[in-house]
Amino acid sequence: MVAHAVTASPFLALGALPLVALLHRSFRHAQLVDAFRIDAKTGLLNAGTWLREARLETARAARTRTPLAVAIADIDHFKNVNDTFGHLAGDAVLAAIASALNALLRDGDLTGRFGGEEFCILLPGTDAAEARQITDRLREKISRIVTPVSDGTRNDGTGSDGTGSHGTGDGSPLRVTISIGVAALGSTRRDLDELLAAADHALYQAKGAGRNQVCVLAASHG
């Protein structure tokens, strides 16, 4: 628009410059807002933003007595991925899982990355049984994801499972699994902190039971 204004008339160009400056300022503001809200490696909400928004949704669900569940997903043996394939491969795995979460979850669900290899998922309008179905589908789909990894990025001669399998072609196929702990609103859990504590305990149980599985904590555990 400025180029056209300059060609047409210097006076039009002077009039257009304030508008361009305003648009640029608005664009920069939007970028800064996104940077504050979004995790750079995954494009998901960062921990602080997820907590704020999830706390509001949980309070609303408790007040209106509507179902809601929280899930904590953790990548199994993620340290081995970084140690074996390098941090760039680890970042690629994080991005692939984030993409899968965005594709498989519903529009109203809220997903955030909590640093490292941990993700939190808020499932509004979802009871414990439905949350198990949703998260088990996520677990199964993510276990099928193949992240190509260049052989040149490997830190040792073993595959991600420690077997020495390199795959074929230009890179080694890297697969990971996730463990998920789930907790739902109930008479003993009425706020986000209680839900997160219960989901974290369920995640601990899933890890202890062999990983690559979903554990839903019974309401009696609080």
User: What's the pLDDT at 99?
Assistant: 96
Catalytic residue among 117, 118, 130, 140: 117
Structure tokens at 183: 């907790």
* pLDDT score at 17: 53
All residue ranges of the chain with pLDDT < 50 are 1-2, 5-6, 20-33, 157-170, 221-222
CB atoms within 10 A of CB 188: 13
Beta-carbon contacts of 24 under 8 Å, excluding residues fewer than 6 positions away, are none
Supply the pLDDT for residue 14.
Answer: 55
Note the pLDDT of residue 172: 66
Question: Which pLDDT tens digit goes with each residue over 1-16?
Answer: 445 544 556 555 555 5
Q: What is the pLDDT of residue 74?
A: 98
pLDDT digits (tens, 9 = 90+) for 139-175: 999 999 999 887 555 555 444 344 333 333 345 689 9
Q: What is the C-alpha to C-alpha distance for residues 219 and 198, in angstroms, rounded to an integer? A: 9
What pLDDT, on the 0 to 100 scale, is given for residue 181?
98
Task: Name 182's bridge partners.
Answer: 71, 216
Q: Tokens at residue 145, please?
A: 């994801």
Q: Is 53 annotated in the active site?
A: no
